[in-house]
Amino acid sequence: MALAVTSTAVSASIPARSNGSSYDLKASFIGPFPPLDRHYPTVVNFSSNRRSSVDVRAEPRRNNSIVPLAATVAAPGAVVKEKEEVVEEQEDYEQLARDLENASPLEIMDRALAKFGNDIAIAFSGAEDVALIEYAQLTGRPFRVFSLDTGRLNPETYRFFDTVEKHYGIHIEYMFPDAVEVQALVRNKGLFSFYEDGHQECCRVRKVRPLRRALNGLRAWITGQRKDQSPGTRSEIPVVQVDPVFEGMDGGIGSLVKWNPIANVKGQDIWNFLRSMNVPVNSLHSQGYISIGCEPCTRPVLPGQHEREGRWWWEDAMAKECGLHKGNLMQGDQAHGSAHVNGTTAVADIFESQNLVTLNRGGIENLLRLEDRREPWLLVLYAPWCRFCQAMEGSYVEVAEKLAGTGVKVGKFRADGEQKTFAEQELQLESFPTILFFPKHSSRPIKYPSEKRDVDSLMAFVNAFR
């Protein structure tokens, strides 16, 4: 993900859209604050029905701010007074999240920008969360955008950043990792250590720490998280929350508010919105990429796969967070961890079909002992909470229907919880789902090596050994 800052508050008119309409929003100057004892008149054009010319007084420059904006905008007709201390009433964000649960993304975005003004910024990653920028512009309010440049993004993503800046007439403020930390990591462990020991260390250096610096200059931030994006980590995110991990400009836990305006929107609906608004998108999407991160850790999604499987594909499904939203993992441990690890929480089962046989531990052990089976078996090792398993449910059930009456048995074995160690040791389980074929004349199952889980690919695998 990339973090940068922007405001539609001061220069450069946005070019006309293809539909003939034009926007009069302005991009802010990026630079230090002017002295406090001087006034700077600024004309701010929000939309055709919201225009004003007001005097503004610059605020002192804050340490570690993403972008110190040059002006604070007053409402139309308002009189700008000398700065005086204001005590804000504490907001109940849990209640606010409940109040906004059924609100549209545009309404949530407008609420966020209205409440926090220049002290909130949109986190833009170069993927489909360009929708956030579109919603922000539609509110008619000034907004800021930031992005994390890890130094390892795809060339297409960098070109997309430039396109977005020109399309909206904004300046994205990029946050970069500390060069000394990156140099130490690469010298000690090489350029691709994450393939061997996990992505967390590299993400911590290239993404999490730059994000922390960026957020230290804000009171709130806006993300493109959706509930349907990631298995086990994002299914419970609210539309607004007190950030459980990062701190804002006032310091301390609870000093930063996190807004997720599209939390309740499904991915397909986001894409329908982008197409209908003629919004520019990353060219990688047309190559099969859905969730886009750093180039070495992102690849296209194959048929039947969940969108998040294109990220850190060599790791377990439960680790699909880089650390920017690790508060989700903490919540996941509390809300779902027992179901994922110990199997103690009730979860709706999947792969339900009369053509599928549900095997227990004893049934699997019998299959493993048989060296001369009467029928071959196709078996999926799964966890019902796993979104990747859920994504292939339809294709696997269809395969079971095609194989009904052919002499090939199709089964399923729930391999999470207390069965996971056994599955890892005896059934070659590395991640969910794992698909095995037990031939008639072999003592060991054959593991399906591909990540293509569409019907044709699964049938080709079965037919190779029938």
Positions marked active-site = 386, 389
Cα distances (angstroms) measured from residue 214 to each of 80, 245, 300, 341, 384: 29, 14, 30, 35, 38
Omega of the bond prior to 177 within 30 degrees of 0, cis?
Answer: no
Q: Distance (Å, rounded) from C-alpha 8 to C-alpha 26?
A: 4
Contact 435, 423 (CB under 8 A): no
Say which residues have a Cβ less than 8 Å from residue 144's Cβ, sequence separation at least 6.
Answer: 5, 6, 7, 28, 66, 67, 69, 118, 120, 121, 122, 173
The residues, any chain, with a CB within 8 Å of residue 153's CB and separated by 6 or more, are: 2, 126, 294, 295
Q: Tell me, what amino acid is at 159?
A: R
At 238, is the secondary structure helix, strand, or coil?
Answer: coil
End-to-end CA distance of the chain: 45
b or e along 334-367 (b: 16 or more beta carbons within 10 Å of the residue's beta carbon)?
eebbebbeebeeeeeebbeeeebeebeeeebeeb
- Kindly state the DSSP code that residue 319 receives in the 8-state scheme: G
For residue 31 the two structure tokens come to 């630079």
- Of 156, 393, 149, the residue nearest 284 (C-alpha): 156
DSSP string over 252-298:
STTS-EEE-TTTT--HHHHHHHHHHTT----GGGGGT--S--BGGGB
The sign of the CA dihedral 225, 230, 234, 235 is: positive
CA neighbours closer than 13 Å in the CB half-sphere of residue 311: 22
H helices present in 204-251, as ranges: 209-215
Round to whole Å and give the CA distance between 224 and 22: 26
Tokens of 146: 């930031």
Distance of alpha carbon 29 from alpha carbon 33, whole angstroms: 10
Q: Quick one: which H or E segment has residue 388? A: helix 387-391
